[in-house]
Amino acid sequence: MIALYIRLSVEDFKTESLSIPNQKLILREKAMSLPEWDNSEILEFIDNGHTGTNFERPAVQELLTMVQAGKINCIIVKDLSRFGRNSIETGYFIERVFPLYHTRFISVSDDFDTANFKGDTGGIDIAFKYLISECYSRDMSMKTKSAKYAKMRRGEYQSVICPYGYRKSADGRMEPDEDVAPNVQMIFQWASEGNTAAEITRKLYAMNIPTPGEYRKLKGKDYYNVSRTNGVWSTSTVLRILEDQRYIGTYVIGKRKVKEIGSRHTQLKDESEWFKIPNHHPAIVSVDLFEKANASIKRFSLSNKKPRDYLLRGKVFCGCCDHAMALRNDAWFYCRHSEVAETLPCHGVRIKMADLEQVVFETIRAQMCPALGIDSNKDKLDLQTVQQAEHEEKLRSIQDSKRHLYEQYALGEIDLETYRTRKAVYDTELVQAKNVHAVITAQTKRIKSDYEIKLKQQEIVQEVGNANMLTKALIDRLINKVYVFPGDRIEIEYATQDFLETKESEKEV
């Protein structure tokens, strides 16, 4: 199986030779020149718009998973930088991981093929190419960031996505979107009149106003998953709109920064580091209305508040809308998302925390498998281990015989023709023995893995059997989510399926 790996970063779109079709053409021509082409299956792995400075890329992760599963025999890339620009990680995979799984690695432009460097790393020229790729990426990142910050200071830089209520004009500047700008004005007006964020969401739902995500999707800009929204605004969205100074014409940018070059993880910077440009674009609301709305809106922020900790924290979800259920008065789980209207199917869905914990515990105990067959698997593993040891002894015996044969030839006890004839016999026996040994080793590894899984299952079953009540340790180990439906029905999504009779369990409270 031959894997063609293709990567195109955002900067590479400007270079025609690095386009995906051109990379495919180069890689397929190289693959067709290999002797293994006729009997090979060709797979393509494409990361479009991903940096090469780290390996947090979906296609390369899928490729590496298949390598570790022993399914990939050869990987072909256009050049080393396509696979990665991080010298340490790239070198580790090429020099350590791929040889371990007998995976050949070919870089076409670099004229690099691991088949030509058995026992070697490719020489100092390859090492320098690793470093050059990494330094180039870092240098480009710094230059791009500097240019972007310079534009921010001059008020020239603008993000691609406009905030809700705005759109891009013909000259690329932000201008009010007449379709939804009145909605923003209404939100500020309602807030200035003393309405809470929850009351504003109910008003928006009653007027059948699409959420910002739904509106973008209607305009063909499907950036977010809005399948769970159902026209219901969240209070956090309303609060973000009310505190956004862009609605008074002040452009705010540079609020976040990446943690390290090449990373997609960002963190919020101190407000003193933000770039604020007054009168940057037409305002949707006046400064007076903005200040009045923010002075009236209730924001519950307790700096010393400790997060509540309870057994099913972060595990309970509404079965209708798939939103996390909130805990009220430390006693009831309820679907806050559905409180905007009585017509929603999950409106009024709630359940006592104590009752839910009890029924979850009873369901887990009821789902335990009565028998796991640990002993039979242990016997099978013992037998397989003995067979593996016998074949390892046979391998050593053949290798010892070959060494003894060479000693006889070196001492002049046998002639060259006799040595060659006997050696050919030993070589044939050795190949056969190695093939059998490889099969038995793989079988032993699989049986051992199954046995270890069974032991872990037994441990879990005993832990549940010895428990008198639901514990945090059991929840973290066994449960991903607990779904609550109307009619006091629950479904449990298990993290560990192996010791259960079914993948999903249902029970009425």
CATH number of the domain bearing residue 96: 3.40.50.1390
The answer to whether the predicted template modeling score (pTM) of the entire model surpasses 0.95 is no
Clarify whether residues 34 and 87 are in a common domain: yes
Clarify whether residues 8 and 77 are in a common domain: yes
d(CA 187, CA 163): 14
- In angstroms, the Cα distances linking 267 to 18, 258, 433, 445 are 32, 6, 57, 44
Over the chain, what is the mean pLDDT? Answer: 78
User: 333 in a domain, yes or no?
Assistant: no
How many Cβ atoms are within 10 Å of 90's Cβ, its own excluded?
20
Which DSSP state fits 344? S
The H or E element containing residue 86 is none
Clarify whether residues 17 and 122 are in a common domain: yes
| Banded model confidence at residue 188, pLDDT cuts 50, 70, 90 | very high
Secondary structure of residue 277 in the 3-state scheme = strand
Q: Is the pLDDT of residue 74 over 90?
A: yes
Number of structural domains, the chain? 3
Q: Is the pLDDT of residue 401 over 60?
A: yes
Clarify whether residues 115 and 8 are in a common domain: yes
User: 369 in a domain, yes or no?
Assistant: no
Distance of CA 50 to the CA centre of its chain: 14
| Banded model confidence at residue 192, pLDDT cuts 50, 70, 90 | very high
Domain residues for the domain of 412 are 376-441
Clarify whether residues 134 and 205 are in a common domain: no
The per-residue pLDDT for 18 is: 63
d(CA 185, CA 176): 11
Of 361, 365, 349, whose CA–CA distance to 317 is shortest? 349
| Banded model confidence at residue 2, pLDDT cuts 50, 70, 90 | very high
The per-residue pLDDT for 242 is: 92
Q: Which span out of 109-118, 303-312, 389-398 was modeled with the highest average pLDDT?
A: 389-398
User: 15 in a domain, yes or no?
Assistant: yes
d(CA 189, CA 11): 44
Clarify whether residues 7 and 116 are in a common domain: yes
- In angstroms, the Cα distances linking 425 to 359, 429, 431 are 69, 6, 10
pLDDT, tens digit, 9 for 90 and up, residues 343-392: 788 888 888 888 888 888 888 777 765 544 445 566 777 788 888 888 88
Q: Which residue(s) pair with 207 in the sheet?
A: none
- What would you report as the CA-atom Rg of the chain, rounded to the nearest whole angstrom? 32
User: 17 in a domain, yes or no?
Assistant: yes
Where is pLDDT greater, at 60 or 475? Answer: 60
Q: Where is the domain boundary, 441, 463, 496?
A: 441
Helices (H), 193-325: 197-206, 212-218, 235-243, 287-296
Tokens at residue 467, please?
Answer: 């428990």
Q: Where is the domain boundary, 277, 296, 315?
A: 296
